[in-house]
Amino acid sequence: MKKTTTIVIVENAFRKSAIKQFLFETKIAQTIEFKSSLLECMSGTCQPAFLIIDSELLPEPHQVSLDKIKQKNSDCKILLLHHGAVDTHILPYIDGHIQFFDSEEEILHSFRTFFTDEKHPFVNKMVDNTLSERELEVVKLVALGKTNKEISDALYISAHTVVSHRKNITNKLGIKTIAGLAVYAVLNGLIDPEEVNK
Amino acid sequence: MLVTESTKLADVIHHNYLLLPILNRFNIQLGFGNKTVKEICSEQGVHLQFFLEIVNSFLDNDYFPETELQSFPLKYIIDYIKRSHVFYVEFKVPQIEKLIAELLEKASVENRQSYKLIQNFFIEYKAELIEHIDKEEDNIHPYVLKLDEAIQNNKVDSELRALVKKESITLYADDHDNIEDKLFDLKNLMIKYLPPTEDYSLSNAILYELFRLERDLGDHSRIEEKVLIPKVEAIEKQILGA
């Protein structure tokens, strides 16, 4: 089986949830694991296809650390998150970088190129099962307990279209019930857990 | 495999160990040596044809017995269904609940909230399952037993005919759907979307139990739909025609 795991090494909760949200918006289905240090990911069993790491958590000198990762797992693509300008010496070791001050559009673009590069063609196959923007909106409203009628009013689409979106969502996700979609929506940060209880 | 009266019960279990809880519902305990189905049934006072029907329909979803084999009283079916209910409510569901609680206990801080969602989902599922079971036991079973008794004792009167017209089993030939869908979703949420746990043997254990519960419940609804309901419908016709 091909590795499709993405490991994200960041420390604080704020960044973690921001990255989750961005990864979700790139609509590239991945198994994402969060770790708080690179050490946790240098064990034998850990073979991510993609590694996203905060430069603050990358031991100095960066060049050596990155080289070690590539030696251990040459197929692993690395995306570096950093504050200031990126050191040109390390560019050959990484497959992309994002600055914390980049605009939303730039960040999304960087994530997308990072994941969809030709080197990993299987990523494109997985896109088929990800939800479209519209379907995501529908999942969100279904999870919040809205009826088909309410969803059709909110999104200015016909009730028939809502039904067809819901069918596609069930097929793509393998989730049939409203309660199940609510759990999915919370797990993927589409809605707040508090909202479900309303 | 078609189980007959001369099949050794031990061979049946070797063939499919998922039948074990079904033996319990007939009060058949392990340690039966090389005895055949017929021997064990007569020792335990279990209706042989009924036992064969239950076991065979579990092994083969399309198994449908000849009408002459269906000649056992309805109270056997009701009794069997009630025992399966006890198995779900008092044993299986609490067992899974306990495993999920353990999962939550062992979860890392960042996973705890996600696992909590699964726990709540299962609690909701359990409530629905119990509601469904209560509805069956409080409404359907007394109705079926009343018809059965009247037919056995040849006491069909206008009052009973009025009851059949008002109640009718087809009104209940209903909704296992949502309960089945919920179990399906729970499996998929765990397989596809839940952040993985370090203790993989624990999540495996939960999934094994969910798969087993699903299989058992599927068999349970098949018995209701293919055995109980057709039999009751036939009796209803008989009563209305009398």
Q: Does A171 touch chain B (CB under 8 A)?
A: no
Share of chain B above pLDDT 90, in %: 57
* B51, part of any domain: yes
Question: Do A109 and A179 lie in a common domain?
Answer: no
Q: Does A145 touch chain B (CB under 8 A)?
A: no
Measuring CA to CA, which residue among A166, A2, A168 is closest to residue A76? A2
pLDDT-derived band of residue A120, with 50, 70 and 90 as boundaries?
very low
Q: What is the mean pLDDT of residues A119-131?
A: 54
pLDDT-derived band of residue A1, with 50, 70 and 90 as boundaries?
very low
Phi-psi region of A33 (alpha: psi -120 to 50; beta: other; left: phi over 0): beta
For B198, the domain range is: 73-241
Q: What is the mean pLDDT of residues A90-104?
A: 82
Q: Do B121 and A187 touch (CB under 8 A)?
A: no
Q: Do B188 and A34 touch (CB under 8 A)?
A: no
Question: Do B187 and B129 lie in a common domain?
Answer: yes
Judged against a pLDDT cut of 90, whether residue B226 lies above it is answered with no
Question: Do B139 and B156 lie in a common domain?
Answer: yes
Question: Do A169 and A86 lie in a common domain?
Answer: no
Question: Do A96 and A156 lie in a common domain?
Answer: no
CA B152 distance to own-chain centroid? 26
β-strand partners of A119: none
Question: Do A11 and A91 lie in a common domain?
Answer: yes
What does the pLDDT read at residue A4? 62
The CATH number linked to A88 is 3.40.50.2300
CA torsion B43→B213→B17→B64, rounded to 10°? 70
Residues of B whose CB is below 8 A from A175: 185, 188-189
Number of domain units in chain B: 2
CA–CA dist A52, A64 (Å, integer):
17
Question: Do A118 and A176 lie in a common domain?
Answer: no
Stronger pLDDT, A70 or A136, i.e. the higher one: A136
Q: What is the mean pLDDT of residues B167-185?
A: 78
Residue with tokens 């009701």: B78
Q: Do B189 and A34 touch (CB under 8 A)?
A: no
Question: Do B174 and B207 lie in a common domain?
Answer: yes
Q: Which of B188, B194, B195 sits opposite A175 (nearest CB)?
A: B188
What does the pLDDT read at residue B58? 87
What does the pLDDT read at residue B142? 92
Residues of A whose CB is below 8 A from B184: 176
Main-chain phi, psi angles of B30, to 5 degrees: -65, 170
* B192, part of any domain: yes
* B198, part of any domain: yes
Among A90, A106, A127, the domain-final residue is: A127
* B2, part of any domain: no
The nearest CA of chain B is from the CA of A154 a distance in Å of 26
Q: Which of A30-44, A111-125, B52-66 has the lowest mean pLDDT?
A: A111-125
Among A99, A127, A155, the domain-final residue is: A127
* pLDDT single digits (tens) B55-95: 998 888 777 666 655 667 888 889 999 999 999 999 999 99
CB contact at 8 A, A10 and A20: no
- Best B113, B116, B123, B193 member to test A by mutation, with max A CBs in 10 Å, is B193
* B93, part of any domain: yes
A34: nearest CA partner in chain B:
B110
Provide the mean pLDDT of chain B: 89
pLDDT-derived band of residue A142, with 50, 70 and 90 as boundaries?
very high
CB contact at 8 A, A44 and A18: no
The CATH number linked to A146 is 1.10.10.10
pLDDT-derived band of residue A123, with 50, 70 and 90 as boundaries?
very low
* B4, part of any domain: no
Question: Do B51 and B87 lie in a common domain?
Answer: no
The nearest CA of chain A is from the CA of B181 a distance in Å of 6
Q: Which of A16, A175, A187 sits opposite B117 (nearest CB)?
A: A187
* pLDDT single digits (tens) A145-180: 999 999 999 999 999 999 999 999 999 999 999 999
Q: DSSP code of A132? A: P
- Best A177, A181, A186, A192 member to test B by mutation, with max B CBs in 10 Å, is A177
Among B20, B49, B68, the domain-final residue is: B68
* B1, part of any domain: no
* B171, part of any domain: yes
Question: Do B34 and B149 lie in a common domain?
Answer: no
CA torsion B105→B110→B112→B115, rounded to 10°? -120
Question: Do A111 and A138 lie in a common domain?
Answer: no
Question: Do A170 and A155 lie in a common domain?
Answer: yes
Question: Do B128 and B227 lie in a common domain?
Answer: yes
Question: Do A29 and A120 lie in a common domain?
Answer: yes
Most confident stretch, A50-64, A142-156, B45-59 = A142-156
B191: nearest CA partner in chain A:
A174
Question: Do B117 and B49 lie in a common domain?
Answer: no
CA–CA dist B166, B182 (Å, integer):
32
Question: Do A112 and A63 lie in a common domain?
Answer: yes
Question: Do B110 and B222 lie in a common domain?
Answer: yes
Question: Do A67 and A141 lie in a common domain?
Answer: no
What does the pLDDT read at residue B11? 95
Question: Do B106 and B64 lie in a common domain?
Answer: no
Question: Do A119 and A137 lie in a common domain?
Answer: no
Question: Do B194 and B237 lie in a common domain?
Answer: yes
For A154, the domain range is: 133-196
Among B68, B88, B118, the domain-final residue is: B68
- Best B185, B187, B190, B192 member to test A by mutation, with max A CBs in 10 Å, is B185
Helices (H), chain A: 13-25, 62-72, 104-116, 122-127, 133-143, 148-155, 159-173, 178-187, 193-196
Judged against a pLDDT cut of 50, whether residue B153 lies above it is answered with yes
CA–CA dist A23, A17 (Å, integer):
10
CB contact at 8 A, B122 and B96: yes
What does the pLDDT read at residue A127? 45
What does the pLDDT read at residue B238? 86
Among B68, B92, B112, the domain-final residue is: B68
Question: Do A37 and A81 lie in a common domain?
Answer: yes
Helices (H), chain B: 9-15, 20-25, 37-44, 48-59, 74-86, 93-106, 109-135, 141-152, 158-166, 177-188, 200-222, 229-241
Question: Do B195 and B214 lie in a common domain?
Answer: yes
Q: Does A180 touch chain B (CB under 8 A)?
A: yes
Judged against a pLDDT cut of 60, whether residue A3 lies above it is answered with no
Question: Do B16 and B82 lie in a common domain?
Answer: no
Provide the mean pLDDT of chain A: 81
